[in-house]
Structure 1
Amino acid sequence: MPYDRTVRLDSDFSATVKAVREALSEQGFGVLTEIDVQATLKAKLGEEMEDYLILGACNPALAHQALDADRTIGLLLPCNVVVRAEGDTTTVQALDPATMVVLTGLPALEPVAAEATRRLDAALASLT
């Protein structure tokens, strides 16, 4: 089962990151954390890699609904959005919210996953 929702853009990395932040915000997601994987691997391991950023995005209302259904769901909330350079393009990926339902088997998470999917898809579509 694919577990990502992906778009590839013909824009540079920094412009894409800015656009992703705006698109997520328009869909009710705030960015709570940011992990610069490229900088971390360089600093900790001396390894080089392409631009790679993980944005920890969260829609509080959807997170609350999911946590009411299953307190363990925090492990699977569709909060990570990856922006990474791939040659002349930039890839944006989000975890497919349906993954929560498939892995837990909890029908109570289906409406949360459906709404999160709608919002993430709208954010990704606005980038293209």
Structure 2
Amino acid sequence: MDPFFITDTLKTFEETSAALQEAVVDHGFGVLAVHDLGNTLRSKGLPFPEQCRIFEVCNPQQAAAVLSTSMALNMALPCRISVYTEAGQTRLGMIRPEVMLAGLSADPSLQEVARAVEASTTAIIKAAAA
């Protein structure tokens, strides 16, 4: 399975960022932080022509379920969804939670939570891209 879920959209970078904020809330998640990686790199004097925002999103119930299997998994939280441009194309993507968490733990209850998180975050990305 591809470790990444990436989709393209016809929306602009700014439209997609706004749509993602809405979709996160509509699906019972919250936005904890937004990192504007593109602006950060440019502010450091680096020639970075693309746009890139990383949204840290979380569903408290699902996060608690992950942490109940192992507190060390806090390092895999929160979920990160990126909005970025690549050669003029606006894209949204994430590392698939099922793939990531399977590499960190073989606990079957964790895989169940990972499937649910992936279903939600995939739906969030699809809604923002539409």
Counterpart check, 1:116 vs 2:109: no
- Note the C-alpha offset of 1:106: 2.0
- Note the C-alpha offset of 1:48: 2.2
Q: Quote the residue 2:24 is aligned against.
A: 24
**Percent identical:** 27
What stretches of structure 1 of length at least 5 have no aligned partner? none
Alignment of 1:1-128 (within 5 A): 1-77=1-77, 79-98=79-98, 99-126=100-127, 127-128=129-130
Give the root-mean-square deviation of aligned CA atoms.
1.5
TM-score scaled by structure 1? 0.90
C-alpha distance in 1, partners of 2:78/2:4?
10
Distance 1:124 1:81, change over 3 A: same
TM-score scaled by structure 2? 0.89
Distance 1:2 1:77, change over 3 A: farther
- How many residues of Structure 1 are paired with residues of Structure 2 in the alignment? 128
- 1:60-83 CA distance string (max 9 Å, x none): 110011001110111223511110
